[in-house]
Amino acid sequence: MNTPWNHTTVLLNEAVDALFSNGADTSDGAGAVERAMDGTYVDATFGRGGHSRLILSRLSPVGRLIAFDRDPDAVAAAHAMDDERFSIRHAAFSQLGELPGNSADGVLMDLGISSPQIDNPIRGFSFRFEGPLDMRMDTTRGESVAQWLATAEINQITEVIREYGEERFAGAIAKAIVARRQERGPFQPPPNWPSSWLTRSKPASRARTLQRAHFRLFGFSSMQSLKSCNTRSKPVSRF
């Protein structure tokens, strides 16, 4: 899939080196290499495939790589890879437990948001662009942030902004959002939001507050998925 949004994988070689060294017999270098090349590995966060491509380059013809990602754009990019040793699942890494027991020689997880998700305006993750307030990692499931804001009560919005944005004016911000919703219908972010809809604090401070709230909410979701993954993936791995 061709898009103007690219992602550069950080610590690419280091991560893949660690994946292949996991559980290897360091006293027998040749054996360790052979096991790594012939094994079945999991890339639990495909993204744009930086790790997957390097893993595939080190696998033998009998090696296998299974990738997971809940972002449909990432899944589309994965489907463009032409390698019979590779398969992609449209699923979160918390669903690793769906794999057969003792089926993986190594699992790689690169947690966090990727550049294409931030750079694409229609995803709604950045204040740099005007676009729909979506912010879902999987745009085919669940409700967007805009949909949540269309029905959320003041106390719910306040709690999110206070807990995840550490904002002392959380209540005022929540009331402003609900007031705008009542006046103009379902909430949609106005141009230059959030600086255009509240005057209790400085615009730059409000932007930082909601940026923190958004990404800490994402971080909380990732941590919950990670806890689930740790519980469910242990029977999957052979290490």
Could you report the per-residue pLDDT of 138-151, keeping only the tens digit for each?
A: 999 988 888 888 88
> Distance between CA 143 and CA 212 in Å, rounded?
20
Q: What amino acid is encoded at 197 in this protein?
A: W
Could you report the per-residue pLDDT of 79-120, keeping only the tens digit for each?
A: 999 999 999 999 998 898 889 988 899 999 998 778 888 888
Please, are residues 44 and 109 in contact by the beta-carbon 8 Å criterion? yes
Average of pLDDT values for 36-45?
Answer: 87
Would you kindly state where each structural domain of the chain is located, as residue ranges? 12-110, 116-225
Statement: residue 32 has pLDDT above 50:
no
Q: How far is CA 105 from CA 19, 21, 40, 191, 236, in A?
A: 9, 10, 5, 49, 9
Class of domain 116-225: mainly alpha
Q: Which residue reads 């997957």 in tokens?
A: 52
Of the candidate ranges 12-16, 66-70, 130-134, 143-147, the one whose mean pLDDT is the lowest: 130-134
Q: Which residue reads 């019979």 in tokens?
A: 84
Could you please state the CATH topology (level 3) that the domain comprising 12-110 is classified under.
Answer: Rossmann fold (3.40.50)
Q: What amino acid is encoded at 215 in this protein?
A: F
- Read off the DSSP letter of residue 5: -
Cβ neighbours, 10 Å, residue 175: 16
Among the listed residues 199, 215, 207, 202, the one whose alpha carbon sits nearest the alpha carbon of residue 113: 215
Among the listed residues 15, 6, 85, the one whose alpha carbon sits nearest the alpha carbon of residue 47: 6
- The predicted pLDDT at position 154 comes to 93
- The predicted pLDDT at position 62 comes to 94
- The predicted pLDDT at position 193 comes to 53
Q: Could you tell me which residues are beta bridge partners of residue 67?
A: 43, 88
